[in-house]
Amino acid sequence: MRIKLFAGHLIWPAKNLLSLMFLLGSLAAIAQTPSNRIQGTVTDLKGVPLQGVNVLIKNGGSGTITDKEGKYALLVQPGNVLIFSSSGFLNQEEKVGDRTVINVLMQQSSTTLDDVVVVGYGSQKKVNLSGSVAQVTGKDLANRPVANVTGALQGVMPGLTVFRSSGKPGGEGYGIRVRGFSSANDANALVLVDGIEQDLNLIDPSDIESISVLKDASASAIYGARAAAGVILVTTKQAKAGKTQVTLSSNYGVNITARQPKRLNSWDEQTLIDEARLNATGTAEYTAENYEWLKNPNFYYRPNPTQGRWEYFDNNNWMLEGLDKYNHQQNHSLSVGGGDQKLNYLFTGAYYKRDGVLRFGPDDNTRVNLKLNVNAELNKYLSMKVTAGYINSRVLENAFGTDQIINRLYRSRTRQSLYVPAEDTTGQIYNGDLQINPVDIEKNAGIDTRNYGTFTSRLGLQVKNVIKGLTLDVIGWRNQGIYNAEKDAKTINWYGRAAIPSLLRSFVNSPNYINVTKNKSYQNNLQSFLTYRLKLNKHEFTIMQGGSYEEYRKDELFSTGQNMANNNFFSLNYADPLTVRSSQKIETWALASLFGRFNYNYAGKYLLEASYRYDGSSRLAPAHRWDIFPSFSAAWRVSEENFFRDNVSFIQNLKFRASWGQLGNGSPLGLYPYLPLMQSGLSNPNNTTTPSLVFDNTRSQYIYQDTLESPDVTWETVQQSNIGIDLGLLDNRLTITADYYVKKNKNMLAYLNLPNIIGIGTPAYNIGELKSWGKELEVKWRDHIGNVEYRVGFNVSDNQNKLIKYVGKNSVGTGGVVKYLEGYAINTVWGYQTQGFIQSKNDLDDYKSKFTTQYFTNLGPGDMKYVDRDGSGTIGIGDGTPQNPGDLVYLGTINARYNYGFDFGFSWKGFDFSAFFQGAAQRKFLIKEETLSPMFGTADMPWTIHMDRWTPDNPNAFFPRMYEKDAHNFKPSDRWAQDGSYLRLKNIQIGYTVPVKRTFIRNLQVYVSGQDLWESTKVLSVYDPEVGNNVDATTYPFYRTVSFGLNAGF
């Protein structure tokens, strides 16, 4: 026992002695290995220093991070390897060797698995997503000379379709559709800007941090009854801790009108007019002497020998007189931000102005954006975020209507002079004798002013650190709108020549009138949700549960009056009291919701998500007010499996996704359709066309029900399934994402086809069914060669739809665009098949011996030959149904298929270049009869394109023979349903980042950017291929834009 005890006492100090010796030996060995101090600077490929880059010793664990100048310093051994890493950049390794300075150029990653993507009520790492979510950053959209954010999104991601209908400032008609149609009622995507429902067209593009598009049901079902058409989450730039920084962005652009018609000179125009009248009536309008007068530059007019008016023989190009080929736009923004971790702020402001094409009078849009964002860490448990914003958009337009003025500039007769003759003593300056004078209208027809202001405020509180993993968010926001509009329409009269001054030849806005609209609206939202995160070894759980309440109200007043006492002073007080009337409208609704989401992640391999929303709307009857919208999704990251990772080194990410969900659509419900809503009317004793007999032709107020109630109406419900794959190869330099989806709206709102004798409007019922399906592909490559960084990207998406059940009016009519037709897609095109032109008298006799037409009896050489599809011997429409359409055939759809985008760019030593192309590979483009047909009305003149018309010497012309009205040749047909596919150079940029001393200016970039500079299309040259359908001559022209700008940071 004593020996053992002694041995134990001996062994203990021996062990410690050996340990001490080993430690001393190790220290000595270390001391003998020299340590070197390595330092350097980390920048991106443009030379901009990168702050916060991790610099670690490989397999060593120790390291440092770069400072705001991108500099670092570290003690290393010659055999060490340094790893440089930062979010958004590819990792880079450098062997130390005998170097003491290592400067590193870091390349941006095309996709980073740790990138955070904004989703409903939170955010997730991109690698952990099991639903279909696409995201672009503000940098992706930067420096584009577009009117708004919506315009910048066109073509940048698959499944997101952006369309526009006009180039009018403030009235571009931008719209967004996510994955095609979810309903025949064309629901709009839900847009939330920093969580607040707003109009994306009013947001300043330079204030965008990121935009997430929730495309499938699993991603968007958390928004329930308003998510059927997709959800777009916009995150603007937020306050951050750091020294005060000032950022200035400014660009000035020149807009060049594109794809407009060209006017003929007066004698060529008259040649076509006489051909049309000769073919229609057998008599021409002008003699050979008249043509000589037209061509004589010194002969403009003469008194009409039999009428009290002038005859004009001028050569006046109305488009040159009334339109500007070049006009301007500008966009300037300023941000100031800074603070510490406890309190930081960001203020942003922007000013935008775009001029229109009208040379005179009002035609522009001005917008001002202001926003203040403040973040505060009140203590370790409570933080607060406050946002306040203001937007004002003002549109000025001519009271006659800009589109109508453009129509007259395109179509008025060129022989009419701009001014009246010098000897005319009527006192009028502008000539309106032959036709109304659009230039006079531009200057003197009055003004239409529309002001829209919106105030937004948001307060968010977050409670954390009370229970590990648990956070509570309480958010309240308000969006308050103010709209003021006033149209002051002045009367313009044009008289005959002085010989008979009382002879009124033409006029507009008679009597003069004033329209005043004022409304105020507010939308309040209060929401609260708990989020709990738990990690147990390889198991990660996230549970979110919340509720919200939202209310909306709009109060609107409209007043109108006519016959102002003075044509230059407009006020309701000075209108004729018998013409003044007013109306008031109130809209209000409320929405209450419960929502939740569950996420499970096992070792980054297996991902599960389930979410729901339970919505109740005041707009529906109590028995149908509430509904639940669930979703489920799962994903498998095969690339995280050992068997895959150990054997396939060139694939860094391979993920399969699948989802199913149910979404709601409440946008077409209207207000309280289950109630018998009453309206008021006012009988008009001055109406001599339809006198008010019921009220003994006296001015009386009455109450009536406009539409039958529908007590059983409820939400449209859209079920959506999605499968997808995400692939990252070659260190994620190459990324591929593909999806296939199917959407079914099985209780779509539709209208019964009831006879008019019912005498009252019919409501919508949940009796329709729509199926929509499609596929998407996105491929990106990003790499560098030396210090040249380059990228290439391509995306394409295809969507189709079919009205499975539609009980409304199921008719193809007389052809053209048919919006709803059971068994077909929405917006199909129907028309006749053609076999060229009748070429001769014999050809005419043969055709007339076989066929008759419902439209026309005066056929002649140069007219269209239609195919008798049904063999009836009559060219017609049958009974107008798809079962018996006569000779009409299905020609396609105006919905674009295979929408695509392609971009590439590079940067080198401060220079950067990018180009972005966008287009659609398949689509029908149908032009209205009155636009195609010259002389559709006697006031509508032909253009240069109409010179290519049929004559015996031009038998293969594009247009048929001239005729005074459309009658026969311009019915919807395969000849006028054009190939609407196109490829457009959407944006091209060249920039240079100027090397600056960083004592005062942090960065300075100058650039040139072009928008819509070129396109390739088969669409007739006078129309833009992006315009929707049935294009007419009043379409406001689109622009090509070249802008010059700078971005500076201080």
Task: Determine contact, residues 831/815, Cβ cutoff 8 Å.
Answer: yes
Least Cα distance to 896 among 162, 228, 189 occurs for 162
Reported confidence tier of residue 449, pLDDT bands at 50, 70, 90: very high
Percent of the chain residues topping a pLDDT of 90: 66
Is the pLDDT at 140 greater than 50? The verdict is: yes
> Does 511 sit behind a cis peptide bond, omega within 30 degrees of 0 on the bond before it?
yes
Q: Which helix (H) or strand (E) holds 945?
A: none
What is the pLDDT at residue 670?
84
Q: Which of 51-55, 291-295, 625-629, 640-644 has the lowest mean pLDDT?
A: 51-55
User: Using alpha carbons only, what angle is made at residue 119 by residues 212 and 234, rounded to the nearest 5 degrees?
Assistant: 40
The mean predicted confidence, pLDDT, of the chain is 89
Mean pLDDT throughout 176-187? 88
Contact between 788 and 811 (Cβ < 8 Å): no
Phi, psi of 484 (to 5 degrees): -130, 125
- Examine the pLDDT at 536 and tell me if it is beyond 90: yes
Q: Is the pLDDT of residue 600 over 90?
A: yes
Domains of the chain, CATH where assigned: 2-106 (2.60.40.1120), 832-893 (no CATH)
pLDDT at 3: 35
The Cα–Cα gap between 706 and 677 comes to 7
- Rounded to an integer, the average pLDDT of 387-400 is 97
d(CA 160, CA 797): 8
Q: Report pLDDT for 891.
A: 95
Q: Can you give the pLDDT at residue 497?
A: 78
DSSP type of residue 999: T
Q: Cα–Cα distance between 358 and 603 in angstroms, integer?
A: 63
Query: Is it the case that residue 625 has pLDDT exceeding 70?
Result: yes
CA distance 462 to 443: 57
Q: List 460's β-bridge partners, or say none.
A: 385, 475
Confidence at residue 686, expressed as pLDDT on a 0 to 100 scale: 58
Instruction: State residue 603's pLDDT score.
Output: 93
Q: Which of 354, 330, 169, 170 is nearest to 249 (CA)?
A: 330
The per-residue pLDDT for 98 is 86
pLDDT tens-digit profile of 1007-1027? 999 999 999 999 999 889 998
pLDDT reported for residue 705: 86
What are the tokens at 590?
A: 């409320």
Are the beta carbons of 420 and 429 closer than 8 angstroms? yes
**Could you report the per-residue pLDDT of 942-975, keeping only the tens digit for each?**
999 999 999 999 999 999 999 987 778 989 999 9
Q: State residue 141 phi and psi, 5-degree precision.
A: -105, 5
**Rg of the chain on CA atoms, in Å:** 35
Q: Is a pLDDT exceeding 90 seen at residue 22?
A: no
Question: To the nearest whole percent, how much of the chain has pLDDT over 70?
Answer: 93
pTM for this structure? 0.87
pLDDT > 50? residue 28: no
* Mean pLDDT, rounded, for 142-158: 90
Instruction: Sort 324 into a burial class: Cβ within 10 Å, 0-12 / 13-18 / 19+.
Output: middle
Q: Residue 523 corresponds to which tokens in the numbers above?
A: 């939308």
pLDDT the model gives residue 694: 59
Q: Kindly report, residue by residue over 858-873, the tens digit of the pLDDT.
A: 899 999 999 999 999 9
Local confidence band at 114 (pLDDT 50, 70, 90 cut-offs): low
Query: In the prediction, which pLDDT does 697 show?
Result: 62
Q: Does the pLDDT at position 554 exceed 70?
A: yes
Residue with the bigger pLDDT between 937 and 495: it is: 495
Q: Per the structure block, which two tokens stand in for 105? A: 């150029």
The band of 1, judged by pLDDT with boundaries at 50, 70 and 90, is very low
pLDDT at 996: 84
Q: Which of 210-214, 553-557, 689-693 has the lowest mean pLDDT?
A: 689-693
Please report the pLDDT score of residue 500 as a whole number.
66
In what side-by-side order are the strands of the sheet with 816-818?
A: 816-818, 828-832, 888-893
Average pLDDT over residues 33-59: 82
- The answer for residues whose C-beta is within 8 angstroms of residue 640's C-beta and 6 or more apart is 603, 604, 605
Tell me: the pLDDT tens digits for 642-670?
999 889 989 999 999 999 999 999 888 88
pLDDT exceeds cutoff 50 at 455:
yes
Instruction: Measure the CA–CA gap between 683 and 702, rounded to whole angstroms.
Output: 8
- The answer to whether residue 555 scores a pLDDT higher than 90 is yes
What would you measure as the largest C-alpha separation in the chain, in angstroms?
149
- Predicted confidence at residue 61, as pLDDT, reads 63
Q: Tell me the C-alpha distance between 591 and 552, whole Å.
A: 9
Identify the DSSP state of 562.
Answer: E
669 DSSP 8-state letter: G
Q: What is the 3-state secondary structure (H, E, C) of 585-635?
A: EEEEEEEEEEEEEEEEEECCCEEEEEEEEEEEECCCCHHHCEEEEEEEEEE
Highest mean pLDDT among 115-119, 782-786, 832-836: 832-836
Given this model, what pLDDT does residue 684 score? 65
What was the pLDDT predicted at 19? 44
